[in-house]
Amino acid sequence: MNVNTIGEFVGAFLILTGGVASVISVFGLLRLPDVYTRSHAATKSSTLAVLLTLSGAFIYFLFSQHFVSVRLLLGIVFVFLTAPVAGHLIVRAAYRSNVKLADISTEDELYEVLHKDKIEEDGTGR
């Protein structure tokens, strides 16, 4: 085996691993109880899946055709920067719109930070 063949196999393996991570992400979206945990599954594992797939495509093209794709590199950087931020903003908008936490959630740590005035007035916090 030469270096090009090994590079092609590594690229194909990363693409396959990205596909598996994407399927796991879908199961997380279907099984998790509320928007907060679903957003976590969507952003973390989907970002990993896209990054693995794009990295695998970059490595595959690099070793099979000796082609450095700037578009793939920009796609990797763009997804790495924007997907977690978008997930955070979606969860933040849901929280500020008073979307209910799941029943299995035990603690709302952000309530005390955002509602300091109510806690000081009531003395109870809720």
Tens digit of pLDDT per residue, the chain (126 long)? 899 999 999 999 999 999 999 998 898 888 888 888 888 888 888 899 999 999 999 999 999 999 999 999 999 999 989 998 999 999 889 988 988 888 887 887 777 777 776 666 666 555
Tell me the C-alpha distance between 15 and 41, whole Å: 19
Question: What does the H/E/C string look like for the chain?
Answer: CCHHHHHHHHHHHHHHHHHHHHHHHHHHHHHCCCHHHHHHHHHHHHHHHHHHHHHHHHHHHHHHHCCCCHHHHHHHHHHHHHHHHHHHHHHHHHHHCCCCCCCCCCCCHHHHHHCHHHHHHHCCCC
Q: Cα 89 vs. chain centroid, distance in angstroms? A: 13
pTM: 0.79
